[in-house]
Amino acid sequence: MTRKYFGTDGIRGKANTHPMTAELALKLGIAAGRYFRKGDHVPRVVIGKDTRRSGYMLENALTAGFTSVGMDVYLLGPVPTPAVGMLTRSMRADLGVMISASHNPHYDNGIKFFGPDGFKLSDEAEAEIEVMLDSDLALAQPENIGRAHRIVEAGGRYQEFAKTTFPRRASLDGLKIVVDCAHGAAYKVAPSVLWELGAEVIPLGVTPNGFNINDGCGSTHTDLAARQVVAEGADLGICLDGDADRVMIIDEKGQVADGDQIMALIAGRWAAEGKLAHGTLVATVMSNLGLERHLSGQGLTLLRTAVGDRYVVEAMREGGYNLGGEQSGHIVMSDHVTTGDGLISALQFLAAMVETGKPASELASVFETVPQMLKNVRYEAGKTPLDAASVKAAIQDGEAQLANTGRLLIRKSGTEPLIRVMGEAEDETLLERVIDSIVAAVESAA
């Protein structure tokens, strides 16, 4: 079933511009509410958000839609995306909603749904909700209109849960940690968790104003934290994104470890402890070839999926795997959480530091990467640059040049109007020439 609004991670767009309008959010609340309302049971929905100004508008519109079909709404306020998955399940809610555009600028926003099990909705469920969006849906009778409640301790409940994933008898005493919260959803909870576990915390990106989320900070702009780590003589830097479902680690020398390196560390430790289910790590086609080679050398398997943490999670659930993620820093540990969790991933890294006594620099470079290059080309709505004959020819020529020495991956982003051109090869000069040629062809077509 073709989806009209939903992408790889919910519905996204520029705030107050279709489809990210109050009008669509209202209709979406009505449609999703009808989809989850069955029988005489009064369904519950929990709604979290990040710190974007437009989140208030969308939160109110969704609340109006849900209550108009008889759902009770529980408002969590600014909380990380993984907190919504966790609280949907622990509060026995029928539906969870996160209002966020993750690592995107403040002028974007998005809406993503979680089912009662705390996992993101399937493509099929989202497609059915889309069909209902265009239907005339019955509203509740006046006496059956739902109520809205604000849950003031939502962040605290997530904090306590996050701490349970850190070894009980371990402590962060003596560690100085820079944590960059990107002026986003974790601006309170992340520094608090680290401090409560004993660390000396240097917080960055903890003064949200509705417009500065991800602005020159966080997991997509790690320079700020890297400079601070070196200047403060810190042991570690933790860079979260706007909704705190992804993380980048900065070692004491200011070097960045991406999701591939963090997953490699966790996979190796879990395998040694007999905790890595089926000896398999699930990652996307974007993960570095060096990760695959490293795991193979340890007798472990890398299972690749399409890009998007939802597809990683689907593969994990289907195969019974308990560790997966993306190079971008989404890391899913299904023994603990139902979606990517930047803070809990960082706690796993910190546990390795505490238990081994090794500095971050020794733990953050687990394998040697194969040179990889990624360039993005923005295109106008309605354009289909990948269908252009010139682009197809450039891609075919690039594949022929790389032959068996590397690989290409060219795809549309599922969250932004971008064509992502990625390649890997041992010969960096050849790789750059191939990528630039394809980018030029895409730019011309776009």
**Do 148 and 285 have their domain in common?**
no
For residue 209, what are the CA distances in angstroms to 112, 154, 357? 23, 21, 39
Exposed/middle/buried for 296, CB within 10 Å: 0-12, 13-18, 19+? exposed
Within 10 angstroms of residue 89's Cβ, the number of other Cβ atoms is 18
**Do 169 and 213 have their domain in common?**
yes
Q: What pLDDT score does 430 carry? A: 94
**Do 324 and 357 have their domain in common?**
yes
Cα–Cα distance measured from residue 444 to residue 393, given in angstroms and rounded to the nearest whole number? 13
**Do 363 and 381 have their domain in common?**
no
Question: 365 and 264 in contact (C-beta within 8 Å)?
Answer: no
Question: 287 and 354 in contact (C-beta within 8 Å)?
Answer: no
175-198 pLDDT per residue, tens: 999 999 999 999 999 999 999 999
Domain count, the chain: 3
Residue that is written with structure tokens 């079933």 in the block: 1
Question: Across residues 428-434, what is the average pLDDT?
Answer: 94
67-111 pLDDT per residue, tens: 999 999 999 999 999 999 999 999 999 999 999 999 999 999 999
Q: Which domain-ending residue is among 336, 369, 402?
A: 369
| Residue 2 included in any domain | no
Greatest CA separation for the chain: 70
Of 393, 432, 399, 439, which is closest to residue 418 (Cα–Cα)?
439
**Do 172 and 239 have their domain in common?**
yes
151-169 pLDDT per residue, tens: 999 999 999 999 999 999 9
Say which residues have a Cβ less than 8 Å from residue 124's Cβ, sequence separation at least 6: 1
- HSE, side-chain direction, 13 A CA sphere, residue 387: 4
| Residue 211 included in any domain | yes
370-404 pLDDT per residue, tens: 999 999 999 987 788 999 999 999 999 999 999 87
Question: 382 and 409 in contact (C-beta within 8 Å)?
Answer: no
| Residue 278 included in any domain | yes
Question: Across residues 227-254, what is the average pLDDT?
Answer: 98
**Do 128 and 188 have their domain in common?**
no
Q: What pLDDT score does 2 carry? A: 56
Cα–Cα distance measured from residue 96 to residue 21, given in angstroms and rounded to the nearest whole number? 19
- Clarify whether 102 is annotated catalytic: yes
Q: Which domain holds residue 285?
A: 155-369
Q: What pLDDT score does 42 carry? A: 87
Q: What pLDDT score does 381 carry? A: 76
Cα–Cα distance measured from residue 250 to residue 254, given in angstroms and rounded to the nearest whole number? 6
Of 186, 218, 247, 219, which is closest to residue 48 (Cα–Cα)?
186
Q: Which domain-ending residue is among 329, 345, 369?
A: 369
Cα–Cα distance measured from residue 241 to residue 403, given in angstroms and rounded to the nearest whole number? 36
**Do 349 and 378 have their domain in common?**
no
Lowest mean pLDDT among 11-25, 63-77, 396-410: 396-410
Higher pLDDT residue, 122 or 44? 44
Of 176, 172, 190, which is closest to residue 232 (Cα–Cα)?
176
**Do 301 and 396 have their domain in common?**
no
| Residue 3 included in any domain | no
Cα–Cα distance measured from residue 344 to residue 217, given in angstroms and rounded to the nearest whole number? 20
| Residue 135 included in any domain | yes
Of 314, 349, 317, which is closest to residue 335 (Cα–Cα)?
317
Average pLDDT for the chain: 95
Of 246, 321, 320, 258, which is closest to residue 290 (Cα–Cα)?
258
Q: What pLDDT score does 377 carry? A: 94
Phi, psi of 46 (to 5 degrees): -105, 140
Q: What pLDDT score does 301 carry? A: 98
Q: Is 226 helix (H, G, I), strand (E, B) or coil?
A: helix
Four-point Cα dihedral 235, 203, 98, 146, nearest 10: 130
Q: What is the CATH number of the domain that holds 303?
A: 3.40.120.10
Q: Is 391 helix (H, G, I), strand (E, B) or coil?
A: helix
Q: Which domain-ending residue is among 152, 175, 200?
A: 152
**Do 289 and 353 have their domain in common?**
yes
Of 337, 327, 362, 368, which is closest to residue 236 (Cα–Cα)?
362
**Do 184 and 230 have their domain in common?**
yes
**Do 159 and 250 have their domain in common?**
yes
Of 324, 290, 321, 289, which is closest to residue 307 (Cα–Cα)?
324
27-52 pLDDT per residue, tens: 999 999 999 987 778 899 999 999 99
Q: Is 189 helix (H, G, I), strand (E, B) or coil?
A: helix
- Paired tokens of 396: 């075919």
Q: What pLDDT score does 380 carry? A: 85
Q: What is the pTM of this model?
A: 0.90
Say which residues have a Cβ less than 8 Å from residue 116's Cβ, sequence separation at least 6: 88, 89, 92, 93, 94, 95
- Dihedral sign (CA 270, 276, 280, 285): negative
- Paired tokens of 110: 């998005």
| Residue 329 included in any domain | yes
**Do 209 and 331 have their domain in common?**
yes
CA of residue 330 relative to chain centroid, distance = 5
The residue annotated as part of the active site, out of 100, 102, 192, 328, is: 102
